[in-house]
Structure 1
Amino acid sequence: MQFTTLIALAVATSMAALSAMAAPTLACDTICPAIYQPVCAKAKTGLNKSFSNPCELKNYNCKHPNANFAVVANSNCKDITAPAPTCDFMCTMDDNPVCGKTKDGKTSTFSNSCILALHNCQHPTDQFELIANTACPATACPTACPMIYRPVCAKLQSGESRTFGNSCEMNSYNCENPNDKAKFVAKDECPAVAAPTVAPKKRAAPVACPSMCPMVFKPVCAKNANGDFHTFGNRCEMSVFLCMNPFIAFTSVIEGACEAL
């Protein structure tokens, strides 16, 4: 009788073990709705991965328990905007100028080395390398241009159209006004209040006429007897034009470019 009882216990234990081994595993293939509600999740390793919806994330974690992805954003990972850099250091306003230079050759003077470092922290795509513990050399802008009247029309960053006597005048203006540069539009005067109807006849410049004028952009608008308007970079330029064309006379001269009137 005792022997029979032992056999019965052994059989029961074996059956229990087999039953445990045959127990169903977790269901990791839940049917997910066909809804695109992307989530970005991060694993323990720091890896980011996008899932079409939270249900797919749950299924993935079920099949890969060691990954343990956790939601970090309700969007596709690639749509997450990188956080702005934290530049948590203060700079004094000491005037110890330094010169910085970018990879493309642009130079800029900073009040001190801390200000340069702060700029680099706040502008990761516009990095300056310290090249000198002094201010950067000033760019020499031309002060005189050839007195050749070949007008060009340009548009300033402010939206204003402006006529320059020639391309040299425009380049000089850009050098002196880096924050309001003129962009070339056409090899002609900008449209004026009244467009010229008769092209002035030119002749060779007399020896007595000057060929250079100071590069001071103080435009004047001149009107001739035919009602035509001409913009000159300054009064010197107008005087040279009249010297070269003595048969042309202006009935009125107004300060400022014609197109601005």
Structure 2
Amino acid sequence: MNEIKISIVIPTYNREKKVLNTIKSVIKTFDGHCEYEIIVIDDKSTDDTVLKLNKYFDKEIKNKLIKIFINKKNLGVTGSRNRGFFLSSNDFVFFLDSDDEFISNNSKHILNYLNKNIDSPMIFFRCIDEKNNFVGTRFDFEKKIEIFEYIQKGSYGEILCVINKNIVNDTPFEEELRGYEGLSLARIINKYGFAILSDVIARLYNCDGEDRLSVNSGFLRRMPLLSKGHFLMLKEFGKFMTLKSKFFYFIKAILYYIIGNIYNFMKGNK
């Protein structure tokens, strides 16, 4: 058995139909290969998510392989990830959405990669969709990225983020900017020096769009927060940006602000 110890943080909200498959994929991937724990953060679900988890995974919960925590108030996916991070007890912390799955036949590659990069503060694993197409920016080889390259790239698209808790002890994500993680990841890279882009495929990304954490309506509703995130990126990391990058961030921030506020006004959202 691999000596690496990992925690998998899974925020969930009204995912009674899909979170079971997500957790089963984690167990299938790591059972017998390493010491691991599954931290489920339920964001005050109004369906039977928690009931079904307790019923289906009764044995794993009693053995403390799976630990379920229910938020007293709705924290959103970002706040739930932060809570899971601080409740986790192992070296490497994975953040997996409750409608995605691990690629179980890559378990040895994932664990070997963690062993090889034991001193890395943060690792980004690759993702594929249900048709085996790569999701996000394609990178076919391992790459160490520092803050300048991360800022210039803007986004690597869908990745599986892993944080080394032995190195990173800050609150990983900016809770106010629900779902805007680029700023938080940039802060980690800037403070701890680098992150690793892995060529190992670890995550199956669910692209059905019906009930993801970021469905279209939710994305439109959060646009003012995304706008704020872009402005903060300019403020904190503008010194690493080219003029073209600054213009890109500025235009996106303005568009998100305008479109998001119009949408929320029309929908009566606060």
TM-score, shorter chain, exceeding 0.5:
no
> Which protein has greater RCO, CA pairs closer than 8 Å, 6+ apart?
2
TM-score by length of 1: 0.20
TM-score by length of 2: 0.20
Computing the radius of gyration from Cα coordinates, the structure with the larger value is: 1
